[in-house]
Amino acid sequence: MTTYKYIHNPSIVQNDCLKQVNVLIQGDRIIKISEIEIEDLPLRTEIIEAKGLILLPGIIDTHVHFRQPGLESKADMQSESKAAIAGGVTTVFDMPNTAPPTTSLQTLLDKLLLAKENMLCNYKFYLGITNNNLEEALQIDPNLICGYKIYLGSSTGDMLVDKKQAIEGLFERSNLVITAHCEDEKRIRQNTALYKEKYPNNDAPPSIHPLVRDAEACFLSTQFAINLAKNKTHLNIAHITSEKELSLLQKGKVNTKHITAEVSPIHLWFEDKDFERLGNKIKCNPSIKTSKDREALRKALREDKIDFVATDHAPHLLLEKEKPYFQAPSGIPSIQFSLPIMLELVKQGELTLSQLQEKMCENPATYFGLEGRGFVKEGYYADLVLVDLNNGFEVKQENILSKCKWSPFEGVVFSSKVISTFVNGQILYRD
């Protein structure tokens, strides 16, 4: 039976203005948007009263780690897609560093089967590049993946690519987006050795993380990747963190670019001084850097040097995070709170609602070719989120839905919150 939903009197964002509309959904699609009341609604239409609320396209998070298969003690597809939907995220791109890693056709097909059984939101998967799988990777049906992921610096999982032939071959031959984790491995190893010598008793404070994985390591690797990509392929720099890297990027709208960049809400929110308070809870790769870097990232987002906001959501168990610095894993769970973070930055004047919508919804859909998603438009999928800009909430352990059940945002009071999330026309979250 066809279902109908009528979202009554929300405001949508158009050209930095709010416009009150009425939205009729049939099945999984938006069939009508009207500034006046829609008369003669179909029988049994569900009416959602939304006066005073903002209706945004569902958030598209192009960088997540849902940990399944193999790392289900930390997180799984069902738990993390629940957290995503509670945060207004309706589509995710999951990374390949699972166990086993998604680096072959068979591991990809196995993961797609798991997703069909467990994912509650829309999803796409990256295929990971290794030193030895390039030929198989390039033969995989491009419709099965959202792009290739290459680690030019080591991070969680053993997926560092350091063989020149594999790196150059990928950049020469890829017809899909290459998303690159850019940190210079040689510099990181040198810095690590230096600080292990300085702290021989394994008592290094987490505050050294921005010194071990420093801005220069990011710059060298990002520069290397951009030089390889010029005039060859579409390159997306994952999680930009430093002011110095921004000098390598060009301003412009996403549909005019060969080289794009993403930033995480984590790096727009925290600064290196927060290590004193939060320790390994904010240890991630690349590292959180200085307040000067953070302000530069916010400015670059406003000025269209940075194209996407993506979380790099990466859960670990709290027991793992409580280990000494050099043993504690890198990664932060954040997907449930990415939209509230960005709405907070809107209220602080760091960007506009239109820019938020562009970086979190429209640009990902446009750049990665997600047909019918990313916009509030007639004929598009009803992936939608209703938010209240004037009714906040406090992050507490009991309202954290990620399986790891902790967040560096515990105790933070956000002034906006998600009220409802629609995925393909179905309401999967209510306040």
* Active-site annotation, residues: 312
Q: Which two tokens stand for residue 373?
A: 């998603």
Q: Measuring CA to CA, which residue among 69, 125, 133, 132 is closest to residue 101?
A: 69
CA dihedral sign of residues 427, 119, 383, 405: positive
β-strand partners of 151: 160, 181
Q: Which two tokens stand for residue 241?
A: 């963190």
